[in-house]
Structure 1
Amino acid sequence: MRRRAPAPVATAGPAQRGEVAAAQRARLLAAMAEVVAEVGYEESTVQLVLDRSGISRKTFYEQFADREDCFVAAYDAATADVLDTVAAACAGADVSERRIELGLEALLDWCTAHPAAARMCVVEVFAAGSRARQRRAATMERLGELAERALDGAGAAGAGGAQLDRLTARALVGAVHELIYRPLERGDAQALDGLADEILAAHVEPLLATRR
């Protein structure tokens, strides 16, 4: 009786391998945010991330150089998402005050929906080394630019008005950061729900009043 030839072994093509790698990376980034939110960056380890994600150590080091590299990648992914979310929200209104309100609500909603990532980005980033702090500075600058664009048209025209827009935008971003830091530090992201009205009344409206 003739023997059958062995069936060909199916191998993943480049596209499929890329999809698998992307899915593994996403799991590692999510695990990093969750671990850091629970134990803090200083107490986090690669092993904790592996345990949380179910990904092998070999695969981890195919994606990242070390723990810090994974943290920075997780931070970049989270902040890119929140910046896109805030920008899209601000684009939903023509009046500057309404753009600020929508952007603020979008930011707070994002933090409430992603408490681990929010804590990572707002609180733990300070402990994660110079690369992470540089990324934070760039993120704060981007948020300031979004706020500045949202304010466009609400103040005086000319160079003086533009400078005031810039200062007002950075003051707004700084005030919001201070107000969301404490709830996220104590692990109470739900406390941010409904905070938009308080921030608008106590910080945004007085700052906008200085521009009129």
Structure 2
Amino acid sequence: MTTVRRLRAQAGVPAASETTASDDPGGFRRRLLDGLAASIVEKGYRNTTVADVVRRARTSRRTFYEHFADKEECFIALLTAANAEMIRQISAAVDQTAPWPTQVRQAVETWIACAESEPAIMLSWIRDVPSLGDAARRLQREVMEAFITVIQTFCDTEEWRAAGAGPASRQVVVMLLGGLRELTATTVEDGGRIGDITEVAVRSSIALLAPRTSV
């Protein structure tokens, strides 16, 4: 199930196969996002065309251009939804009353579970977005800021402060996120299973966020 389909199911919206030409515009938009996601899984973002998207969405080019200016705008909308859903799942998974290393494990395991459910989308986000236009680069920065905010919020509680592990600096959080993203990307590119990086990702994240000791 694609990220967009999960979002749709949670909202009680019918799957694309259950929609008809009489759907509201939002229904067509969701079908187009699903069509793009399916094509990325099959052939990658760069090799995907608008024709691929509309064929999978079972709609027309005219409908596509009523919702998106081009393939890149559709891609940005898909990634916006995917990253918002990942942040939502991570936020829901972390028990802020648990010991801080347990919280780190919960967050990292959820990150990996999301990436493992959508490896092609995750890889496309990491590899394709940097080479696109200004809108895509703005999205990349906005998503990074959203993840930074979430992690810094987790690390700025009594539980973390009492352990001497919080709050986390922006620089440390950026290093943490960059490492997780690159490890995920290289694992997918090398044909590995994302789940296999879980323990090293958890241990490394705990080490990075651990209380500072004097030298």
In 2 relative to 1, CA 98–63 (structure 1 residues): closer, same or farther, beyond 3 Å? same
| Maintained 8 Å contact 2:152/2:173 | yes
Runs of 4+ in structure 1 off by over 6 angstroms are none
2:65 to 61, 65, 84: 61
In 2 relative to 1, CA 185–53 (structure 1 residues): closer, same or farther, beyond 3 Å? farther
| Maintained 8 Å contact 1:155/1:211 | no
Question: What residue in structure 1 maps to residue 3 of structure 2?
Answer: none
In 2 relative to 1, CA 17–53 (structure 1 residues): closer, same or farther, beyond 3 Å? closer
In the TM superposition, 1:1-212 aligns within 5 A as 19-91=23-95, 93-153=97-157, 154-155=160-161, 162=167, 164-186=168-190, 188=191, 191-201=193-203, 203-211=204-212
CA distance in 1, matches of 2:37, 2:66: 19
Gaps of 5+ in 1: 1-15
How many aligned positions are there?
A: 191
1:169 Cα shift? 2.0
1:52 Cα shift? 2.2
TM-score norm. by structure 2 comes to 0.76
TM-score norm. by structure 1 comes to 0.77
CA distance in 2, matches of 1:44, 1:145: 33
CA distance in 1, matches of 2:65, 2:146: 30
- Taking only the aligned residue pairs, the percentage that are identical comes to 28
CA distance in 2, matches of 1:27, 1:62: 13
| Maintained 8 Å contact 1:180/1:192 | yes
CA distance in 1, matches of 2:176, 2:88: 18
1:54-75 Cα distance to aligned partner (Å, 9 max, x none) = 2211111111111111111111
State which structure, 1 or 2, has the greater radius of gyration over its C-alpha atoms. Answer: 1
Question: What residue in structure 2 maps to residue 11 of structure 1?
Answer: none
1:191 Cα shift? 0.9
| Maintained 8 Å contact 1:92/1:99 | yes
1:32 Cα shift? 1.3
